[in-house]
A and B are shown apart, each in its own frame.
Chain A
Amino acid sequence: MADIEREPTVIADNAHIVYRIYGSVAPGANSPLASLKRIVTGKKSAAVREVHAVKGASFVAYKGEAIGLIGSNGSGKSTLLRAIAGLLPVERGGGIFAAGQPSLLGVNAALMNDLSGERNVELGCLAMGMSPDEVKEQAPGIIDFSGINERGDFSSLPMKTYSSGMAARLRFSIAAAKKHDVLLIDEALATGDAKFRKRSEQRVRDLRKDAGTVFLVSHSEQSIRDTCERSIWLESGAIRADGPTDDVLKEYESFVNK
């Protein structure tokens, strides 16, 4: 590879990522007797289960690339994105390195359901590090883009009154309001109705122009094909293939249809 003239923006060096989950215990494992036994024998609590979500991922992403992440459900795609964003720590291995601060653009960003859409826009923008002046300037645009006011004044109603599509659209609009060095997109293109999808794809293309590198997690092969020239296929936490999108998708399809 000619990495002399190409500038790397994200490097993963044999990264292992482990989730710890509390309280998901098999029946009987949390009985007083079992707990006592654990304390006496000094074993790790069975109430803490570890999920080894990514097992030694290594890759180099370069400036100007758009990389699709594919794989079956639970293969560790979203976990890998979170680790690139620095939201989940890397357990073992060399670690993940990035230029600047990568931002995760997800539809799962939690907002406060008891508050109005307007207040959520304000809160979300502040949480992304905008100044209050920027927020004031951007807020009307964000609400317009989300289109929640198309059927009456919904932006002043609490978010719990929104349909799930409306809430997802608002979250996407908030997250897409900022420019990013390294942009990580998690299934965001699959949000909302057809009209909104078209609008959001255009927005992602605009963001791509400004961003150095884009990672896209999606189950829609079409949006991967449309946006990414390179793809990485993850299966049970390990990278199965990494290369041009067409080749990787072909391999992936033959694996799925087997």
Chain B
Amino acid sequence: MAQTAVAESDTGPSLTELARRHGLTKAGRLPSLPEYTRYLWSYRHFIAAFANAKVSASLGSTRLGVIWQLLTPLINAGVYYVIFGVLINTKQGVDNFIAYLCAGVFIFGFTQSVVQAGSQSITSNMALIRALHFPRASLPIAVTLVEVRNMIASMIVLVAIVLLTGEPITVEWLLVLPALLLQAVFNTGLALFVSRLVSKVTDIRQLIPYLMRIWMYGSAVLYPVTFFAERLHGWQLTLIEANPMLIFIELMRHALMENVELAQPAGLLWIQAIVWTVLVGLGGYVYFWRGEKGYGRG
């Protein structure tokens, strides 16, 4: 016998009560933060496979394939050198301007591409999200891993440029690793943050290129960091020197090159880099986790 089962308002509590009595869990319940972290950890193989798949999918259609991972940073450095090193002379007394410029371009490019790819990591994988159950943070983390891979290729190019331009290998080169590690965590937090933001307010994606350009000009990528100290004073200078990208770039230049003028002492830079990494890494993760159950809605 077919009975019509249109929801009555008074049947509501009893059904919920029944579910509770039988220990059913609410579909789409937000797991606690430690629970979510364990869940994410159990998906580490998926994250790695997804990142690898993304790389092979993007390079698979080109003839040169993996070589592009080295060619892209080389061409990038070449373009910036011709424009800012040769045509517009922004050197201002930096001895080894090519290496100085490339360190800035590559370190900033790392964060820039993470933000760009991260902003689309939820919106462009909507079909996957609506079909399968997995911790959504896998997606922005996977795109960050792809960029980490690209960054390793960039670092090979950067080290070659630094050596060719006559910098000696010193113990300080070891600092490259912790600096990159901090930046990678910082970038992951940033990718998690923008991916949720863009999935909620799609308009932000249109703004990201401009925001990144403004950020680049504030990070002394194309000109020496002394440029700011000569022109800005007081709170303006404090503000620009607290810029995390400026700090990461300075750390890299300091590690790889001799005779670089820093805006602040190296120890202070390291402390700020750690604070920024913890702040953005954790903040981005928590912000993303809080939205976990809403990503399928679009």
B11–A123 touching, CB < 8 Å = no
A-chain residues with CB within 8 Å of residue B11 when the two chains form the complex: 13-14, 58
The one of B7, B19, B60, B293 in contact with A11, judged by C-beta atoms closer than 8 angstroms, is B19
The one of B3, B23, B42, B56 in contact with A115, judged by C-beta atoms closer than 8 angstroms, is B56
A-chain residues with CB within 8 Å of residue B4 when the two chains form the complex: 239-242
B-chain residues with CB within 8 Å of residue A114 when the two chains form the complex: 56-57, 60-61
Of B45-53, B210-218, B237-245, B279-287, the segment with at least 4 beta carbons within 8 Å of chain A is: B45-53
B174 at the interface (CB under 8 A from A): no
Bound complex: CA A186 to CA B294 (Å): 22
B298–A82 touching, CB < 8 Å = no
Interface string of A47-70 (1 = CB under 8 A from B): 000000000111110000000000
A36 at the interface (CB under 8 A from B): no
CB-CB nearest in chain B for A84: B27
The smallest beta-carbon distance between A10 and chain B, in angstroms, is: 8
Bound complex: CA A8 to CA B294 (Å): 26
Of B131-139, B148-156, B160-168, B221-229, the segment with at least 4 beta carbons within 8 Å of chain A is: B131-139
Nearest 3 CB-CB pairs, A to B?
A110-B127, A97-B19, A243-B2
Interface size grouping (class) on chain A: 35 or more
Of A126-134, A137-145, A147-155, A215-223, the segment with at least 4 beta carbons within 8 Å of chain B is: A126-134
CB-CB nearest in chain B for A122: B49
B15 at the interface (CB under 8 A from A): yes
Bound complex: CA A86 to CA B297 (Å): 11
> What residues make up the interface of A, taking CB atoms closer than 8 Å to B?
3, 7-14, 18-23, 56-60, 82-90, 93-99, 101-104, 106, 108-110, 112, 114-115, 119, 122-124, 126-129, 131-132, 158, 238-244, 247-248, 251
The one of A8, A87, A101, A131 in contact with B129, judged by C-beta atoms closer than 8 angstroms, is A87
A-chain residues with CB within 8 Å of residue B24 when the two chains form the complex: 8-11, 97-99
The one of B1, B53, B297 in contact with A119, judged by C-beta atoms closer than 8 angstroms, is B53
B-chain residues with CB within 8 Å of residue A110 when the two chains form the complex: 125, 127-128, 131
The smallest beta-carbon distance between B136 and chain A, in angstroms, is: 11
B-chain residues with CB within 8 Å of residue A126 when the two chains form the complex: 43, 45-46, 49-50
Interface string of B1-29 (1 = CB under 8 A from A): 11111110101110110110011111111
Bound complex: CA A10 to CA B25 (Å): 9
Contacts A11-B16, A23-B202 aside, 15 further interface pairs with beta carbons under 8 A come to: A13-B12, A22-B202, A60-B15, A86-B27, A86-B28, A86-B29, A87-B131, A87-B133, A90-B27, A93-B12, A95-B28, A97-B19, A115-B60, A119-B56, A126-B49
B5–A95 touching, CB < 8 Å = no
B130 at the interface (CB under 8 A from A): yes
A-chain residues with CB within 8 Å of residue B131 when the two chains form the complex: 87, 104, 106, 108-110
Bound complex: CA A27 to CA B18 (Å): 48
CB-CB nearest in chain B for A58: B7
The one of A22, A23, A89, A251 in contact with B296, judged by C-beta atoms closer than 8 angstroms, is A89
B-chain residues with CB within 8 Å of residue A10 when the two chains form the complex: 24
CB-CB nearest in chain A for B15: A13
User: In the complex, which residues 26-48 of chain B have their Cβ closer than 8 Å to any Cβ of chain A?
Assistant: 26-29, 42-43, 45-46
The one of B1, B49, B130, B134 in contact with A82, judged by C-beta atoms closer than 8 angstroms, is B130
In the complex where A13-B16, A58-B15, A114-B60 touch, is A8 in contact with B297 (Cβ < 8 A)? no
Residue from B7, B45, B127 having most chain A Cβ neighbours under 10 A? B7
A97–B5 touching, CB < 8 Å = no
